[in-house]
Amino acid sequence: MCGIRSFSVAALMLLGILGSGLAQSEIVRWNAVVGVQAEEDSPNLVVGEFFPSPNWFWVEDGKVMFNLDSGEVDIQFKYLSWASNNPSAQSPIGAPLGTYPILRRGRFVCDARGQYGEPVTVSTETFSLDNTGSANYHGQVEVQQICRDYPDQIAFVVTGANSFRYFAFGAGQLVLAAH
């Protein structure tokens, strides 16, 4: 009887260990990337340490994926273009930003509204836009625990490489279990 009980306890422990290794990770996905069209001083559009650009931008299409287990990141969007024709814009309305050799970064702002402490930013390596203003970036980032703890509180923005102004943001966020 003692042997069966020991075997049962050992089997349950092994299942617990194996089961924890089989836990599914979470993926945060944004089904669209949207250009900023806001006034510079809009307090409701401040995301962590990032402010909306004073110029307006347009994006045709995009999607973003952030794997909270592996740190894998995919960012895709098309035709980031000027949507303003004011004197501070570098080109006329409709011109793609890809004609300027300015590097970009994807920024994942965890606890974006500061509900659980200070927002924490996880940044990608820099990437370039092609001449149409489109991006196709794949890379890895170091995932902070606050991101894993509150995946529904992550915001995504696109900035210049060393800028605190964002041009576009992720919309249509979903938190999914990875398979």
CATH number at residue 56: 2.60.40
Residue with tokens 């924890």: 20
Domain presence at residue 57: yes
Which residue range(s) make up the domain with 35? Answer: 24-177
**pLDDT tens per residue across span 72-99:** 999 999 999 888 776 766 678 888 877 6
Domain presence at residue 18: no
**pLDDT tens per residue across span 2-56:** 454 443 344 333 334 333 344 467 999 999 999 998 766 677 889 999 999 888 8
Domain presence at residue 6: no
**Both tokens assigned to 81:** 């273009």
Confidence (pTM): 0.83
Helices (H), 44-98: none
Domain presence at residue 10: no
Is the per-residue pLDDT at 159 higher than 60?
A: yes
Report the number of distinct structural domains present in the chain: 1
R_g (Cα) of the chain, nearest Å:
21
Nearest residue to 32 (alpha-carbon basis) of 156, 167, 164, 176 = 156
Domain presence at residue 1: no
> What's phi and psi for 148, nearest 5 deg?
-70, -35
Q: Is 169 exposed, middle or buried (0-12, 13-18, 19+ CB in 10 A)?
A: buried
**pLDDT tens per residue across span 16-31:** 433 334 446 799 999 9
| DSSP three-state, residue 69 | coil
Q: What is the pLDDT of residue 89?
A: 64
Domain presence at residue 73: yes
Is the per-residue pLDDT at 136 higher than 80?
A: yes
